[in-house]
Chains A and B, each alone.
Chain A
C-alpha cells in the first residue's frame, strides 16, 4: 500500500475515532452535558489525536529509514569480489541495481520467468518498457535487484501492518479513557500548544539552517583555499573553464567584489537618500492630506515592483540612455562622438538601485519624523522659527538616530540586492574608481558561480557559499545595529 493511501486510511480511522469518542462522551453524560469535564467535541479530538499523530510519526520515520536499511542489506549481499572494488564503483552498481529493480516491477509474471536467465535477456525487454540500462550490467545485479524488490515489499508490508495497528490500538486506548471526569480539553489544548511552539521554532531553525549549511560548505571551501587568500586576495579569477582540472588553481580574492558591492551601494544611497529624505520631510511637514494620500502610495508602488523589473529597466532603458547621452556630451565637448559611459556600469546599476531604494528611505524616515513629539514642533514654531528651521534645527536632530537606523537598513538592502546588479553592473571583477565602467558584486558572483548543473565539490562552486556567508554576516551586522538604534529611539519618545 502506498504511503499516501496509508496516510489517508490513518486519517479515516482518526475521523471515525472522533465520532466514536464524541458519541461515548455524550452517552456517559446521559444527556446532561454539564456533568462532563469538557465539551463532547474535545473527547472526539482527543481520540483523533491519539489515532493519527503517533501513526503518522511512525510512518514518516519508516519512510525515512527503510530505504537505507534495504540498500545496506542488498549491498551486504553482493558478491565478495564486487565489494572489493571500492565505494565509487559500488555506488554505481547500486544505482544500476536500483534501475533494474524499478524495471522488474513493470514486468508481468510471464515476462519475469522469461528473464530469469540473466542480464543479457533482461536488457532488451526492459528497453521495450522504456527503462534504458547501461550495457555493462552483470547477472548478479539481476539477483540483487530481486532481493531488493523482496526486501522492499517486506518493508512495505510491515509498514502497512504496523501503522494501521498503531492507529487502531491507540484510538481504542484513547476511546476507553473517555469518562465523565476525564480532562480531554486540557490534553487537546496541550497538543495544540505544542504545535504552536514547533511553528515558532521554525523561524529559529531557518536561521540555524542558513548558518550551518553555509558554514559547512564554506569549511569545505577553506580546506582547498586558505581563508587569508579569500578575505584579503585582490584578484578574482576562479578559472571556471578549468574546473575539472585539479591542477588549475583559481584565485578567489574577495576584495574586488566587495569594492564593487560597496561602490554601487554608495552610488545608490547618494541617489536614494536625498530624494527619499526630502520627500519624507515634505510629506510629513508640508503636504496637505490630499497630496499625501496620492504621493505616498505612488512612491510605495516603487517598493512593490520586483527587482527583476528594475534590472530590465536598467538594461534596456537607463544603460543605453546614459551611454547615448555621454556620446552626445563628448561630441559637444571634444568633437569625438565616443561614449564614455558604458551601458553596463557602476553608474547605471547605482542609479537604478537608488530608484528602487527611494520608497524604503522615504517611508522609514516618514515614520520616524512623525514620531517626534508634537510639543517639540510647537515649541520651535512658537519661538518664531520658520517651518524649515524647525525641521533642520529641531526635528532632524531629534530624529537623527532613527534616521541613521533607517539608512543602515536601506544600505543592507543595497548590499544584498541581486537582480539589478546581475543585469546592469557587469561581470568584470576589478577595482577602479571610474563610475562609468562595469564592476561586479558579491551577489553577481554567487549567481554566476552557481548557475548551471554543477557538483558541490570544486572550489569554483563552493566559493559561492563563502561569499554568501560573508554577505549574510555583513547584512546581519547592519540589521542588528540598525534595529537596535531604531528600538532605542522609539523607547525614547514613547
Chain B
C-alpha cells in the first residue's frame, strides 16, 4: 500500500483523505460479508454432502435381490434313507441347500451340469435359503414330494452386482462373481425370476456374517429397551432434582457445587461414562455384559444433566406471579410447585427430555465399553439378555470389509437419522404448540 500511496499525486491524496479511504473500507466491508456467506455456505454444503453420501449409498439397502424358484421338495434329497418318521433329526439336518441349487439349475435350463457349474449355481443363492426351506418343511412336513414356488435371497455379491455397485470391467479373477454367473443373472432378470424385493430382513433379522441376511432387528429392540430405561429413570430423577434446585434449595455452597457439577457432567466425554458403567455396573454390581439394562443405566447417567438443565430453564420461565398467587390463596410450597408451576413447565420439560433421548439414541462410545459390540443373532427377550444398539450395529457393519455391508451400514444410518429426525420434530412441534410466552 505504501508504494502506491507514494506515487499518488497530492490532489489524489487530498481527495482520498476527504472520503476517508471509503473505497477501500467498503471493499473490506464487502470481503468481510463474503467470508461470512462462504462460512455459512460451507457449513450447509458439508451437511448436504454428508446426507447425500449416506442416502446415495444407503437407499438401495431397503431392497434386496431375490430369486424366484420352483423348489421340488425331493424326498430323495431330504430323507434318502426314509427314517424321518422315527428320527426327528433327519428333517433338521437334511441338505436343503441342494434343493435350492437344483431348482436354480433347472430354472437356468442347465442340462447335465458338471461340478464346477453346480458350485457356481450354489454360490448365487444365500445360505439363508437353506433355513427358509427347512422352516417350510418343519412347519408342514407334508410338502415333501411336492413343488412350491418360493422367493429365496440371492447371495450378497450377486445383490451388489444386480444393484450396479460392482465394476464388471474388472478382471473376472478379481471379482466374487464370475462372468458365467453374471450371464445367468441376466438370464434370470430377463425372465423376471430375479427381482429386487422389499428388504424386511433388514428390520427383523439379527446379526449375521452374511450381508444379505444381516439385519438390525436386535439392535432396534436393544435401543428400544435402552430408551425405555432412560425415559423411566432419567425423567423422574431429572425433574425431581431440578425442582429441588430451582424451587427449594437454599443458595449456599452445597447447591453451588451441585450446579457447577451438573454443568460439568454435561461436558464430560461420553466415553468416560462407559468406563464408569464398566467399573460400577459390571465389575462392581455384577450385571451381565452386553445387556441393554446396563446400557440404559449408563445412558441415563449421561442424559440426566441434559434433562436437568432443560427442566431448570423451563421452571425458571414460569413467572413468579404464578407462584405468589398460589401461595397467596393458601397453597403450601409443595402444592404450589406440583399443582401450578410443574404443569406450566411441562412442555419445556418434555422438549428437553426428547432432545436428551435423541442424544442417548445416537450415542455409541460408552456402549462399546460395556460389551454391546456383540454378535447377537437372537432377539433379546428381556433387558438382561445380550443385545446391541442401533449406533453400535452401524459401527460393527462399518468395520466389515464386504461391499454389501457398506450399503447396509448406510441403510442403518438412514433409519437412525429418521428416528432422530422424528424425535426432534416432535420436540419442535411440542415447543411451538404448547410453549407459552409470558
Contacts and interface: CB of A to CB of B under 8 A. Distances in A.
Interface of A: 185, 189, 192-193, 195-197, 199-204, 206-207, 209-210, 213-214, 216-217, 274-279, 281-283, 286, 295, 298-299, 301-302, 304-313, 315-317, 355, 358-359, 362, 384, 386-389, 391-392, 409, 412-413, 415-419, 422-423, 443, 446-447, 450-451, 453, 456, 464-465, 468, 471-472, 475-476, 479-480, 483
A274 B36 CA distance: 9
A15 B334 CA distance: 22
Contact of B269 (A195, A309, A418): A418
B191 to A, nearest CB: 35
A279 B36 contact: yes
Contacts of B227: none
Contact of B263 (A209, A391, A451, A483): A483
Contact of A283 (B40, B265, B391): B40
A299 B279 contact: no
Nearest to A291: B40
Interface string B12-29: 000000001000011011
A298 B47 contact: yes
Nearest to A277: B39
Interface stretch (B100-108, B162-170, B207-215, B363-371): B363-371
Interface in B355-375: 358, 361-365, 368-369, 371, 373
Contact of A203 (B47, B265, B271): B265
Contacts of A310: 50
26 contacts: A189-B334, A196-B241, A206-B265, A217-B279, A274-B39, A278-B36, A282-B35, A286-B36, A302-B43, A308-B391, A309-B50, A309-B394, A313-B50, A316-B57, A316-B398, A386-B28, A388-B28, A413-B267, A416-B271, A418-B269, A418-B270, A418-B365, A465-B275, A471-B269, A479-B263, A483-B263
B280 A275 contact: no
Given A193-B334, A409-B267, A417-B269, 15 more contacts: A209-B276, A295-B44, A299-B44, A308-B394, A308-B413, A309-B413, A312-B410, A313-B53, A358-B46, A416-B268, A423-B398, A451-B368, A464-B275, A465-B279, A475-B269
A391 B271 contact: no
B398 A312 contact: yes
B377 interface: no
Contact of B365 (A316, A362, A419): A419
A301 B269 CA distance: 20
Contact of A308 (B47, B362, B373): B362
A388 B391 CA distance: 43
Nearest to A351: B46
Contacts of B416: 306, 309
A176 B371 CA distance: 53
Contact of A278 (B35, B241, B333, B394): B35
B278 interface: yes
B261 interface: yes
B172 to A, nearest CB: 25
A201 B308 CA distance: 12
A305 B334 contact: no
B265 to A, nearest CB: 6
Contact of B413 (A209, A214, A312): A312
A447 B368 contact: yes
A157 B170 CA distance: 74
Interface string B253-292: 0000110111111011111111110111001100001000
Interface in B371-414: 371, 373, 391, 394-395, 398, 406, 409-410, 413
B248 interface: yes
B142 interface: no
Pairs of residues from A and B, 5 with the lowest C-beta to C-beta distance, nearest first: A416-B269, A282-B36, A306-B362, A213-B279, A199-B240
> DSSP majority for the B interface?
helix
Contacts of B44: 295, 298-299
Main secondary structure on chain A at its contact with chain B? helix
B424 interface: yes
A309 B270 CA distance: 16
Contacts of A453: 289, 371
Given A213-B279, A286-B33, A308-B362, A476 B20 contact: no
Q: Which of A281, A299, A312, A387 has the most CB of B within 10 A?
A: A312
Nearest to B53: A317
A261 to B, nearest CB: 11
A446 B57 contact: no
A51 to B, nearest CB: 21
B305 interface: yes
B308 A468 contact: no
A475 B271 CA distance: 12
B308 A446 contact: no
A282 B41 CA distance: 11
Contacts of A277: 39
B177 interface: no
Interface string B36-59: 111110111011011001100100
Contact of B395 (A304, A419, A472, A479): A419
A77 B257 CA distance: 51
A370 to B, nearest CB: 15
Contact of A447 (B40, B42, B50, B369): B369
Nearest to B269: A416
Contacts of A475: 267-269
B281 to A, nearest CB: 10
B321 interface: no
A85 B169 CA distance: 70
B22 to A, nearest CB: 9
A196 B248 contact: yes
A9 to B, nearest CB: 22
A301 B355 CA distance: 12
B398 A362 contact: no
Contact of B272 (A210, A392, A450): A210
A200 B424 CA distance: 27
Contacts of B260: 480, 483
A277 B44 CA distance: 15
